[in-house]
Amino acid sequence: MNKEILDQWIARLYDQDRRATAKLISWVEDDIERAYIMRSIFKQTGQQMVVGITGPPGAGKSSLVEALTKLYRAKDERVGIVAVDPSSPYSGGAILGDRIRMQAHGTDRDVFIRSMGTRGHLGGVTRSTSDILRILEGGGYGRLVLETVGVGQSELEIMQMADTVVVVLNPGTGDGIQAIKAGIMEVADVFVINKADLAGAERMKGDIEMMLNLSCDGSAWRAPVVLTSVINETGLETLFEKIEAHRSYLLESGQRNEHCKQRLRQEVWRQWEDKLQTIFEDVWEAAQGKWVALENNDPYEIAEMLWEERFKEEKWDE
Amino acid sequence: MNKEILDQWIARLYDQDRRATAKLISWVEDDIERAYIMRSIFKQTGQQMVVGITGPPGAGKSSLVEALTKLYRAKDERVGIVAVDPSSPYSGGAILGDRIRMQAHGTDRDVFIRSMGTRGHLGGVTRSTSDILRILEGGGYGRLVLETVGVGQSELEIMQMADTVVVVLNPGTGDGIQAIKAGIMEVADVFVINKADLAGAERMKGDIEMMLNLSCDGSAWRAPVVLTSVINETGLETLFEKIEAHRSYLLESGQRNEHCKQRLRQEVWRQWEDKLQTIFEDVWEAAQGKWVALENNDPYEIAEMLWEERFKEEKWDE
């Protein structure tokens, strides 16, 4: 693509042009001029913090995101939302349904929602998500929310992109046990027991607090447990305040700097990994015709041979 | 470690020494002489196929694995089992519980069970699992079973290591929908509706078959749907036969060769990735003191600078 035209679209992004935001996100997702676009945007962004919201399907994450969005909008803040959903060619219905619930903000030009599937390699989704959050920041969305469905390892990896992780659970569902099994307790900065109108909410709160007492991670932040009910509109202001409190904690404790450093390292590593993958694909393709057919099935030997052939100055065993 | 001693342990592995099998697995998991051990074992293995069993927690995977193991043992085949469980420092109980259920084979020296957590980076687990399956093959376990809990993206990635993927679901639980959302329908070679004594089993079978009709992946294999009940001991022989039928299909259709090629490529790429990661860690460490502090937060620029500094012959933009 013509770089001048691309630059114009990027300039329009910074002018908070909604169409430019959507276009750039699509291009980056489709790997069209991704490096060029992201290089430009990275220089201008990285200040905003990301609130991550995760929990099992049906816990009410989308409703909570909608409620939070309402609170942000009341303070005249623009909100960018990325929702990562597991998906399949057969599905679509349920995910669309989630999005439809956000229709209260569907016509609000200061709210931008992007849904993503997790089909294909997870690493790809993680990277796209991180890029999309940057683009949204570039487009002037000052509040960034990242929502993922599920309580597994994949969701944990996605949540590494969030500065504040909110884990949403429901009383009486065994959610707590699932969350513990998935190792999600350790990454939570704020717990929400949503649908707190249901029986068992207070008991679940007690259980979680007890488990938090058992862990000793040495952090000065202790994850609060907030009871919410979207239907009765209770606890939502408290949730908002706890998220803000965590944000202040990150800034004051220097943790925020630590997050930024970690993410820079990860971004640089991803560039290297991408670069090597491109090289590897060429090398592997070229090797097919040559000697991979020679019944050699030792990946260690092949790796070393291909490496030394490609990187002439680099000995494998150094 | 002394290579002579290592070679002795590897020789004992090939003699089907159980202690050597356990020791080598532990070393590889702990990254002690991993490359040396695996290089040696790769040359001797890669013939056996892996049966993967996945499904949501509580679907009865472990009971099915136990039942399958019994059938293999009746035919005097040795069985190696790797169970990948999500875990957390708080848990342990449930996982241990699963293992205890396998106690029928706990004293059988021809059954080897290894449980693994998925804490830490998923990529690490995937690699360890693949190595452990190779070690078990080297130790003379002719039947390899890989069990994972859950129906998410992580489990899909782990299932790429299996030649035959068995997806276990339960009637009346919404499992089907979850499986569809997670994209697991497409990877299933055999469906099991376990606890088929519960209501809704036949209907679920119909639903799955209908969805299989909707998909058109062009494969000559059509995933059968098997109803099983471990309690009533029904359907287990049928499951066994379907797995064997898929195995024959893979061999006769040439799909097995395709699997092997794909895995070789992946193994070689992993070696390259490992190699680059080691280099990156050194480079990043060294860069800290130099100029990362210079308020440069553009990962693209940093990646390029570090790359060209390290790989003097390699231009980033080539």
Query: Which residues of chain B does A119 touch, with a Cβ-Cβ cutoff of 8 Å?
Result: 183
For the stretch B47-65, pLDDT in tens is: 899 999 988 878 889 899 9
Closest approach of chain A CAs to the CA of B147, in angstroms? 16
Q: Is B278 exposed, middle or buried (0-12, 13-18, 19+ CB in 10 A)?
A: exposed
Percent of chain B with pLDDT over 70: 82
Q: How far is A75 from chain B (nearest CA, A)?
A: 30
Instruction: Name the minimum distance, in Å, from the CA of A71 to any CA of chain B.
Output: 31
Residue A35, min C-alpha distance to chain B (Å): 8
pLDDT at B186: 78
Give domain limits for chain A.
1-34, 45-253, 265-310
What is the C-alpha separation between A170 and B175, in angstroms, rounded? Answer: 19
The answer to whether the Cβ–Cβ distance between A42 and B214 falls below 8 Å is: no
Residue B88 has pLDDT above 50, yes or no: no
Instruction: Determine the Cα–Cα distance for residues B214 and B240; give it in Å rounded to an integer.
Output: 26
**B88 interaction partners in chain A (CB closer than 8 Å):** 180-186
Minimum mean pLDDT among A149-153, A204-208, A233-237, B243-247: which range? A149-153
CA distance A180 to chain B (A): 6
For residue B152, the chain A residues in CB contact (below 8 A) are 86, 150, 152-155
Q: Is the pLDDT of residue A118 over 60?
A: no
Contacts with B94 from chain A: Cβ below 8 Å: 177, 181
- pLDDT tens digit sequence for B214-228: 776 667 898 999 999
Looking at residue B242, what is its pLDDT?
97
pLDDT digit string, tens, across residues B169-189: 998 776 666 666 666 777 899
A230: Cβ contacts below 8 Å, ≥ 6 apart: A60, A63, A64, A66, A67, A194, A195, A236
Are residues A183 and B86, on separate chains, in Cβ contact within 8 Å?
yes
pLDDT tens digits, one per residue of B110-152:
999 988 765 555 556 777 888 999 999 999 999 999 998 766 6
Q: Please, which residues have CB within 8 angstroms of residue A125's CB and are 6 or more apart in sequence?
A: A84, A116, A117, A118, A158
How far does A33 lie from chain B, in Å, by closest CA? Answer: 13
Mean pLDDT lowest among A103-112, B157-166, B172-181, B300-309: B172-181
Check whether A67 has a pLDDT greater than 80: yes
Looking at residue A179, what is its pLDDT?
64
**Which residue in chain A has the smallest CA separation from B267?**
A299
Q: Do A183 and B87 touch (CB under 8 A)?
A: yes
User: What ipTM was assigned to the predicted interfaces of this complex?
Assistant: 0.74
Write the pLDDT tens digit of every residue in A171-227: 877 766 666 666 677 789 999 999 999 889 999 899 888 888 877 666 789 899 999
Which region among A90-104, A228-242, B73-87, B281-295 has the lowest average model confidence (pLDDT)?
Answer: A90-104
Decide if domain B45-253 falls under CATH 3.40.50.300: yes
Q: Does the beta-carbon distance from A88 to B182 stay under 8 Å? A: yes
Write down the pLDDT at residue A97.
Answer: 44
**Which of A208, A272, A308 should be substituted to probe chain B, the one whose Cβ sees the most B Cβ atoms within 10 Å?**
A272
Residue A161 has pLDDT above 70, yes or no: yes
Q: Specify the pLDDT at position B181.
A: 60
Angle between helices B3-14 and B34-44 (to 10 degrees): 40
**pLDDT computed for residue A227 by the predictor:** 97
Pick from B181, B260, B292: CB nearest A91: B181
Chain B residues with CB under 8 Å of A188 CB are none
Q: Which residues of A touch B182 (CB under 8 A)?
A: 86, 88
pLDDT band at A17 (very low <50, low <70, confident <90, very high): very high
Most confident of A239-248, B157-166, B167-176: A239-248
Which residues of chain B neighbour A277 with C-beta distances below 8 Å? Answer: 269
